[in-house]
Amino acid sequence: VSRSIGDVYLKKAEFNREPLYSKFRLREPLKRPILIADPSISVHQLQPHDQFVIFASDGLWEHLSNQEAVDIVQNHPRSGSARRLVKTALKEAANKREMRYSDLKKIDRGVRRHFHDDIT
């Protein structure tokens, strides 16, 4: 996702400035892109026994293993799997910051970016 949409300051020098938070800005001028918008593509032939595909951003995978994500979807098929995945990842993000999930949720989304990456 970041290759196509986010982290534009790592692709073009003109975006490495305000209003981008200073903590994300590069100190040295960007001479060439660090990220490119060309996607990495991997192909997996779906098999008859495959039950579902989980498509998520790196923010989710930063907090959940493949197996944890599979377990969540298998245990709650078709009943808000995506919401459960995101909530579980946010709970783990809060735990890593030694805070409660409810306290993390109270933080404004713009500020919360300092506590965890985008989770999609």
| pLDDT tens, position by position, 13-37 | 777 777 777 777 777 877 887 777 7
Residue 57 pLDDT? 80
The answer to whether residues 29 and 62 belong to one domain is: no
34 and 63 together in one domain: no
Find the length of the chain.
Answer: 120
0.75 surpassed by pTM: no
Q: Does residue 31 fall inside a structural domain? A: yes
Domain count, the chain: 2
Task: Look at residue 90 and tell me if it is in a domain.
Answer: yes
DSSP symbol at 2: T
Q: Chunked in runs of 10, what are the mean pLDDT values of the chain (120 residues)? A: 63 75 76 74 90 86 93 87 92 89 82 72
Residue 77 forms part of a structural domain: yes
With beta carbons less than 8 A apart as the criterion, state whether 112 and 104 touch.
yes
* Spatial distance between the Cα atoms of 113 and 75, rounded to a whole number of angstroms: 29
Tell me which residue range forms the domain holding 79.
Answer: 58-114
